[in-house]
Chains A and B, each alone.
Chain A
Amino acid sequence: MIRIEGLHKSFGKLEVLKGITEHIHPSEKVVVIGASGSGKSTLLRCLNLLEMPTSGRIFIHGEEITGGRHDVNMLRRKMGMVFQLFNLFPNYDALGNVTLAPIKLLNMPKSAAEDLGMHMLEKVGLTDKAHEFPSRLSGGQKQRVAIARALAMNPEIMLFDEPTSALDPEMVGEVLAVMAGLAAEGMTMVIVSHEMAFAREVADRVFFMDDGVVLEQGKPDEVFSHPREARTQEFLARVRK
């Protein structure tokens, strides 16, 4: 479904991704782990071209999205993204956040979009907060609205960029529960996360990134219980402390 070939990304002189070649299958859940600065987020952001790859090619359904010929906006409709800092629109209420893209992009009538929006909010358990503005929501609620917002465009792939890193510990569970539900429905998901227990439970594959490459990958059991690389062992030992 997603094929990545020789992906490089530099910011000025700093080379963040140093050649990544991977294939992510339909309905697969990939959790990307690794130390900060290893390039996890950059990899994710290259997938929907929020970052332009310096070189290398990315294919979705066999169609190349890099190279400047592909319609970026059409691509992004099919790829939902959830951010570490939620990035809800403060000038819209929860429902408005969810319905904005369907109304503007799919020319959906307002009432139909609101039905869809309420359905999405129901999925994340927030129908009662539909008319609250983001400033009145807790972190966990904000992130769940952000997930509903991304789902409203009916994407085929969901990208999660450290979705629980900015949350208070007691709110992590509610967000992970929504994500686990999504995984159970068969959504293709790429998740950058530090939640090892969640990765173990939900992931089909775990990527361990180090210094701009996917150093080690495999089933969660293999990577977590029997890491081959010394750097992976080191990293896991550090996060388990």
Chain B
Amino acid sequence: MSWFEAFAAKFHQCFVQDGRFANFMLSGLKVTLQITFSAAIISISLGSFLAIVRVTHDKNIAAMYPGSKRIALKAFNQLCKLCITVVRGIPMVVQLMIWFFVVFAASRNALGIAILAFGINSAVYTAEIVRAGIMSVDHGQTEAGRSLGLGYVHTMRFIILPQAFKNVLPALCNEFIVLLKDTAVVGYIALCDLTRGAYLIAGRTYEPFLPLVAAALIYLAMVIVLSKLFGKLERRLRTSDSH
């Protein structure tokens, strides 16, 4: 048997026989993508929210008159800070298992729990990224907006955030790449994602090389596509104000 025939046989065994590629890898890929995209949406919305609370506090607290609003903002800010510290301080796998086996021990919706766990974990990193972006916008922009009579929310929404978002695109791209690859640990809560799928094929065929390399290549391809998309977005935003 030539080298090529041996390879073809192994390839057939790993991917074609019993429809293994479709049953394990493709269905696993679907789970990976589902978790990544849903978690990314949670990440960007919750993360921006946390960032805005933190920045609103830091920018305004000194100029605020004493009162219930000031106390509420302070308390809220402390809460956000606490969330960021706690979530950032616990390994992703441990968080995932706590959500699945402790907090939602009664639920069997592993996919939903994984989305929530990855979303929250990624959100605290996104929060710090967005916060850095907002702080990178010159304070004169805020002053110019406010001096026109625009309120804090208007100024944020139409002047500061668009500039901040553009500044943090590379960092956000990074964060989403990490998120995508982090989902490889969902096997811990018995979800069959791309990694788990490859691992299962390896277990059935005693042939780890091909399925694992295939999984690796699929991850790599997804990351390349993601970077390209972000690069495109970056260029589009840059030409709009030729900065």
| A residues in contact (CB < 8 Å) with B | 48, 50, 52, 68, 73-77, 79-81, 83, 85, 87-92, 100-101, 104-105, 133-136, 146, 149-150, 153
Chain A residues, Cβ within 8 Å of B162: 91
Q: Give Cα A149 to B159, complex, Å.
A: 14
Q: Give Cα A101 to B146, complex, Å.
A: 10
| Distance between A65 CB and nearest chain B CB, rounded to angstroms | 13
**Is residue B104 contacting chain A, with contact meaning CB distance below 8 A?**
no
Assess the B138–A105 pair: CB atoms within 8 A: no
Assess the A89–B151 pair: CB atoms within 8 A: no
Listed stretches B5-13, B105-113, B235-243; interface member: B235-243
Chain A residues, Cβ within 8 Å of B158: 100, 104
Across the A-B interface, the 10 shortest Cβ-Cβ residue pairs: A77-B149, A87-B144, A87-B140, A81-B147, A101-B148, A76-B149, A68-B65, A133-B241, A91-B162, A73-B149
**Is residue B85 contacting chain A, with contact meaning CB distance below 8 A?**
no
Chain B residues, Cβ within 8 Å of A88: 144
The residue in A50, A73, A75, A87 that gathers the most chain B C-beta atoms within 10 A of its C-beta is A87
**Is residue B150 contacting chain A, with contact meaning CB distance below 8 A?**
yes
Partner of B159, one of A76, A79, A91: A91
Assess the A153–B243 pair: CB atoms within 8 A: no
Assess the A83–B149 pair: CB atoms within 8 A: no
Q: A100-B158, A104-B158 are in contact. Are A50 and B144 (CB under 8 A)?
A: no
Assess the B148–A90 pair: CB atoms within 8 A: no
**Is residue B58 contacting chain A, with contact meaning CB distance below 8 A?**
no
Partner of A136, one of B138, B146, B150, B242: B242
**Is residue B154 contacting chain A, with contact meaning CB distance below 8 A?**
yes
Assess the A153–B140 pair: CB atoms within 8 A: no
Assess the B150–A105 pair: CB atoms within 8 A: yes
Residue of B nearest to A76 (CB): B149
Partner of A153, one of B138, B145, B148, B159: B148
Residue of A nearest to B237 (CB): A91
Assess the B149–A91 pair: CB atoms within 8 A: no
